[in-house]
Amino acid sequence: MKTILPLLILLGAWTNVWNANAAAATNAVVITPAFLNALAAEARTNAPLLRSERSRVEAARANAAAVRTWEDPMFTLGGMTARRSMRADDGDLLVGVEQKLPLFGKPAAARRAAESEVATQQAAESMAFQMLWLEIARQAFKVALADRVVELAEEDVAWLDALAQLAEQQFLVGKASQVDVLKAQTERAKRTEQSRTESERRHHEWVALNRLLNRDFAATWPRFELPALAEPIEFGGHLVDLSLQFEPRLKMMRREVEQAAANTEVTRLKRLPDFGVGIEGRAFTGNGEFRQGMVFFNVNLPFWNLDKYRAEHARDAAKTRAAEQSLADYRLHAAKEVHEVVTSISAARREALLYRDQILPRAELALASSRLAWETERGMFRDVLEMRRMLIESRLMLARAVAEQHSMLSQLLLYCGAADLDALKKHQEKPSGTPTKP
């Protein structure tokens, strides 16, 4: 009977912990791609960064709309001083209009350059949104991991509280020492304080997520729950092909190359002469009668500064080559990055499987064995505490591995333009398919 009573105390404490965890689980939010997309949609509206990118797009569109095919005509008004007879014969009031001609495709080239700037800014806005989506996903998994850490800490505090009561009962019946009681109470006090620290860290993760969504820093969240361990991902050429097509920075860099080429064409056309036509009329101010009219044609002479025009063209051509070389270099970097991400995903999955299938069952068995040995006076109390620490650490490492796998998986989905893992696998089976961007 003396042995059964402490076991009933420990069982009752475990039942309370289980009920509390079950109640908390009913309010948990599982992190899914749809949930992350909903958060990103909120950020698209509220985030100042995306607002600034939209303003840049609007500015580029306004700049494209401002490109003129016909320049403003030039109005000329003048007079002449001479003898009255000469002014009466030739006219002393000059009125004229001059118009520059849109030749050699210069306005069209300027319009293409402006439109390419619009495309570049749109790609930059898209990249900013997708990178923000990735940052939100990573932060959501950090919050889920922090929730799991707090959950484990609270569970451990409850377990240690029950263990301290059990140690006191064992001490009263002479089956435990005062040292065991003090150790249990000390461990419970330390873990209680650590649980408070973990709660504060979780609150900081809330603040970081609220900052990304431009919410009030004091806003709280329901408990986030990590998704199940994802299926394995194998590196292959299809992932590299997808990343070269959908990687956000690559898409923006391709637009930058197009913009640089358009600006180079504008500079090349600058060295061609500009032509203009105009009309001019003369009248005598004495009686307002018309005296003569004239039609004229003019052209500038850019040959004096031909070396300067060539230098400008060489400058912009070098910028185009630099953009192309940067694009080629980043293509190699993107392929390497995909391989690194897939490697990290695989490593995190193997680690999670190791803890889930091997280390955790052994830790649970070791804890049960050490506790039973201590209760029957065949083991040491410190072994119970040590096995409990090992069990909590194993559960924590499992949660970290799952969070790491899904965080890196979010990065891979972003690089490959896939909405979720199923879409990525479907494209792997049918390379001709078109993935959906997150």
SS3 sequence, 201-236?
Answer: HHHHHHHHHHHHHCCCCCCCCCCEECCCCCCCCCCC
Question: Taking 50 as the threshold, does the pLDDT of residue 104 lie above it?
Answer: yes
d(CA 351, CA 339): 18
The per-residue pLDDT for 430 is: 52
Q: Are 264 and 316 in contact (CB under 8 A)?
A: yes
d(CA 20, CA 14): 10
Token representation of residue 200:
């504060």
The per-residue pLDDT for 265 is: 93
Any idea which residue has 């002014």 for tokens? 87
Q: Which of 398, 396, 408, 411 is nearest to 344 (CA)?
A: 408
Domain ranges of the chain: 4-429
d(CA 314, CA 320): 10
74-98 per-residue burial string, b: 16 or more CB within 10 A, e: under 16: eeeeeeeeeeeeebbeebbbeebeb
List pLDDT tens digits, range 326-349: 999 999 999 999 999 999 999 999
List pLDDT tens digits, range 267-316: 999 888 888 898 988 887 877 777 788 888 888 888 888 889 999 999 99
Any idea which residue has 């080629």 for tokens? 328
CATH 3.40.50.620 is the classification of domain 4-429: no
